[in-house]
Structure 1
Amino acid sequence: MRQHHCAAFVLWLIWQVVGLGVTTQLRAEQASETPGFLTQVTWATVKITNPGSTATGFLVELPSGPWVLVSAAHVFSSMKGDQCTVILHRRGDDGRIVKNPQTVPVRRENKDLWEKHPTADVAVIRVDFERDANLGVLPYECLATEQMLEKLPLEPGLIVRALGFPHANIFNGNPEEFGIARLGCIASYPLLPIKENPRFLVDMNTFEGDSGGPVFALASENKETGAVAGYVIGLVSGQHFVDEEFKLIYQSGKFRHRMGLAIIVPSVFIRETIDRLMASGGN
């Protein structure tokens, strides 16, 4: 019996060593893998927290190298105080993904540090994060130009996706605090030219906290590798409601109904805002 127990223990020990090696190798391979477009957008989308405004943003790398945080302008203007916290993610020493909160100054001596678009609900701010502070960042080139939107083509019924943090101050969809993905379709028409149509609608549930989240469309698929490419076509600015008033003998009030229609600012205005930041020396 003793020999059987000894043999079993040796086999268990070998399994533990081999299993540990396999696990370590898998983690190393996962850490070195190049993410697909959908994962890259997920990594680049971040939660923004502040006593006056908790919402969504996403990181974009400028052509000159630095990063900017993109969100809706009303997200920044609603912030209280001089800073906010951005929930980034990195890999720990064991290869696991861990949260990496970072403080971002938003005002200095009562002066706003973000760049706002003059007409659209878009703002960007320079962030000085280390290169390994977050798992991913979106390249400036993936922000769709009007020509890219024409080629997609951007039209009613086009399936699009979005990431955000619905009711971010009271709801976490996952322990690591990654954005929640939503699926919808373009709901409004006409969409182009952008200057005459500065907003469009997406048939998609959206809530407080989703503001500033990226809206993106898949563009093509590599048939050999299966890799999917895509473009950010806008960001979430708001949602549509229908208000219904009622009046009784002793009571009156109003019911608010969600229409399930998200208001989106086109990516062209995101590009213009980043260009304004670079032109002002914020690059």
Structure 2
Amino acid sequence: MIQVPPADVPPPVAPPVWDLTVGLIEATVQLDQPSGPDTRTVGTGFLIQAERPDGSPRIVLVTAAHVLERMEDPDARIGWRTALPDGSWRFAPEPLTIRDDAGEPLWTRHPDRDVAVMEIQAPDAFARAAIPLGWLADRNAFEAWQVGPGDELLSLGFPRGLSANRAGFPILRVGRIASYPLSPVEAFPTFLLDFTVFPGNSGGPVFWTPSARKRPGTTEPDNAFIAGLLSQEVRVGEDQLDIGVVTHAVFIREAISQLDPLP
């Protein structure tokens, strides 16, 4: 059973809409499944608010498709966090069924990209923390905000299953865009980010915020966006190049649209 704070404990205060960093920290969760007596498969996911066509609310878990594909058992774990009366937090993972009785996946995979989405039931605090669909970058976001090679992006994840603290919050990292061009996304569906990637980072959000760079000609932009999700690290043979591959957020949008049957 999922534990929630007592009624007299106020829920976590939602950050201002422009504070995507804190918002995504609260919306990012660890995914894991035992893979042996002393080992486990670990990945990162984040929650998106994506209304159904009829306007009813829906929470969607987003991660890299290979994270779930490598979890062979029907149940994984999702790392919820519970606020306690004294202001501290407790890591409170719960089972997450990812395959049906026949072993078929319950998630939806993008047909061409390493993106998986899955409708889930989340505790109220996490449902409130889920990031609105509109924060996912569209095809024109990089050009509109003049974000390009050398600019900094932030990323959240659980490298080698580690978290920022015992409460299970993700670790925040920063890297620079290391490839060009970034568009059109149909021709360049992924881009490179210059930072060290470890197992467990896959599926984490990569995003741009006012703290990364101000919009040209303004003191503070009125928007921020999720640029994509971390798909993999770059290796040449056994050499780790400290470069991550990011899949554009457009393909997250496309995967979420697959959840709704065509009229």
The reply to whether TM is greater than 0.5 is yes
Whichever residue aligns with residue 42 of structure 2, its letter is T
Runs of 4+, deviation exceeding 3 Å: 30-35, 219-222, 226-229
Whichever residue aligns with residue 144 of structure 2, its letter is K
The structure-2 alpha-carbon separation of the partners of 1:134 and 1:221, relative to structure 1 and needing over 3 Å to count, comes to: farther
Whichever residue aligns with residue 136 of structure 2, its letter is L
Aligned pairs for 1:127-142 within 5 A: 127-133=120-126, 136-142=129-135
Give 1:10's aligned residue. Answer: none
Is this contact kept in 2: 1:185–1:202, CA < 8 A? yes
Aligned pairs for 1:1-283 within 5 A: 31-32=12-13, 34=15, 36-52=19-35, 53-64=41-52, 65-109=57-101, 110-133=103-126, 136-168=129-161, 171-219=162-210, 229-243=223-237, 256-279=238-261
Q: How many equivalent pairs are there? A: 238
Q: What is the root-mean-square deviation in Å for CA atoms of aligned residues? A: 2.5
Is this contact kept in 2: 1:51–1:80, CA < 8 A? no
Instruction: Give, in angstroms, the shift of residue 134 of structure 1.
Output: 6.1
Distance in structure 2 (CA, Å) of the matches to 1:44 and 1:130: 11
Whichever residue aligns with residue 208 of structure 2, its letter is A
Distance in structure 2 (CA, Å) of the matches to 1:162 and 1:129: 22
Whichever residue aligns with residue 76 of structure 2, its letter is C
Is this contact kept in 2: 1:200–1:265, CA < 8 A? yes
The Cα offsets for residues 123-182 of structure 1, whole Å up to 9 and x where unpaired, read as 0111112323567211111011112232122311111000010001xx344211211111
Whichever residue aligns with residue 100 of structure 2, its letter is R
- Identical pairs, percent: 31
More helix by share: 1
More strand by share: 1
The structure-2 alpha-carbon separation of the partners of 1:61 and 1:74, relative to structure 1 and needing over 3 Å to count, comes to: same
The Cα offsets for residues 180-232 of structure 1, whole Å up to 9 and x where unpaired, read as 1111111001110000001110011111110000000115879xxx8984211
Give the secondary structure class of the aligned counterpart of 2:68: helix
RCO higher in structure (CA 8 A, sep ≥6): 2
Distance in structure 2 (CA, Å) of the matches to 1:97 and 1:218: 26
Is this contact kept in 2: 1:160–1:185, CA < 8 A? yes
Greater gyration radius:
1
5+ long unaligned stretches in structure 1: 1-26, 244-255
Whichever residue aligns with residue 138 of structure 2, its letter is T
The structure-2 alpha-carbon separation of the partners of 1:197 and 1:32, relative to structure 1 and needing over 3 Å to count, comes to: closer
The structure-2 alpha-carbon separation of the partners of 1:208 and 1:78, relative to structure 1 and needing over 3 Å to count, comes to: same
Is this contact kept in 1: 2:15–2:22, CA < 8 A? no
Instruction: Give, in angstroms, the shift of residue 56 of structure 1.
Output: 0.5
Instruction: Give, in angstroms, the shift of residue 73 of structure 1.
Output: 0.4
Whichever residue aligns with residue 131 of structure 1, its letter is D
The structure-2 alpha-carbon separation of the partners of 1:33 and 1:216, relative to structure 1 and needing over 3 Å to count, comes to: closer
